[in-house]
């Protein structure tokens, strides 16, 4: 399968001249099964807008969007997703049950006064699929989930590819021994892992409990975890391209096969 980054920042899509190279959109990752052509979209941050333009121009059938959780930076692209306005395309929004949240809450993003086009008036209204548990099949994709350490809850996903497994684990706070051990078991042996690296080690002490990790924690976790490659993700908004390049170098000194996720970059698993 081929994995492509469409949005790699956390919190807010804040574009600056010094950070545009890495990309300034919030989380969205596309996964394509090369054998069947089937696609799966992970998260619906502002990066979903660009992906939607591409899908509306040439895709057909169902477009599944699997959410990890419901914070704004992971859902803010949904109302602007072009397939919702393209007849002949069917969007499926897979919404995990996290606490009291259910799929009906997704509709509120389209309600006045937040958005001018009501959910019921969308030309290609999405199918909302609320699911629970830690396993889900979406088309050809068989997915295992793991609960992450993040305020309000969030899920990591593990997908099987021809060359190994791919783990998408954004919005997770490393640093608790019990949680870290369980998470290590979930990712062990994966071919590629996308991991929350929002903070620097210097920034982290002032942000305990925010549900995010530092790039150093990610690199050390990868080194101990028997994984193939690490992709640093959910970059702090405004962090410059030069700063990201420096972080990539420092993290690679700990775990050599480390890269910072950048919009437009893709890789095979």
How does pLDDT run across 59-68, given as a tens digit for each residue?
Answer: 667 899 999 9
For the chain, domains (ranges, CATH) are 2-266 (3.60.15.10)
Which pTM value belongs to this model?
A: 0.96
Q: Cα–Cα distance between 234 and 170 in angstroms, integer?
A: 7
Confidence at residue 61, expressed as pLDDT on a 0 to 100 scale:
74
Angle between helices 177-187 and 215-224 (to 10 degrees): 60
The lowest-confidence range among 63-72, 101-110, 231-240, 251-260 is: 101-110
Burial 175-192 (b: 16+ CB within 10 A, else e): eeeeebeebeebbeebbb
Instruction: Tell me the β-bridge partners of 259.
Output: 231
Residue 193 has pLDDT above 70, yes or no: yes
């Amino acid at each position: 399968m081929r994995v492509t980054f469409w949005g790699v920042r956390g919190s807010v899509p804040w574009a600056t001249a010094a950070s545009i190279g890495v990309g300034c959109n919030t989380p969205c990752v596309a996964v394509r099964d090369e054998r069947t052509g089937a696609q799966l979209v992970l998260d619906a941050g502002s990066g979903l807008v660009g992906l939607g333009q591409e899908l509306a121009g040439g895709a057909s059938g169902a477009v599944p969007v699997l959410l990890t959780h419901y914070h704004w930076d992971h859902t803010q692209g949904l109302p602007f997703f072009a397939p919702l306005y393209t007849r002949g395309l069917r969007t499926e929004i897979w919404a995990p049950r996290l606490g009291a949240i259910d799929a009906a809450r997704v509709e509120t993003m389209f309600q006045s006064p937040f958005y001018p086009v009501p959910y019921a008036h969308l030309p290609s209204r999405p199918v909302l699929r609320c699911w629970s548990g830690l396993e889900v099949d979406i088309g050809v994709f068989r997915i295992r989930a793991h609960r992450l350490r993040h305020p309000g809850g969030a899920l990591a996903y593990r997908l099987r590819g021809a060359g190994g497994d791919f783990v998408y684990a954004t919005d997770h706070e490393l640093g608790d021994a019990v949680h870290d051990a369980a998470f290590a078991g979930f990712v062990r042996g994966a071919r590629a892992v996308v991991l929350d690296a929002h903070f620097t080690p210097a920034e982290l002490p002032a942000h305990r409990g925010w549900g995010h990790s530092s790039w150093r924690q990610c690199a050390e976790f990868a080194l101990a975890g028997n994984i193939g490659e690490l992709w640093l993700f959910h970059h702090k908004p405004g962090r410059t391209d030069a700063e990201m390049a420096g972080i990539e170098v420092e993290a690679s000194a700990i775990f050599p096969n480390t890269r910072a996720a950048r919009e437009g970059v893709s890789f095979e698993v």
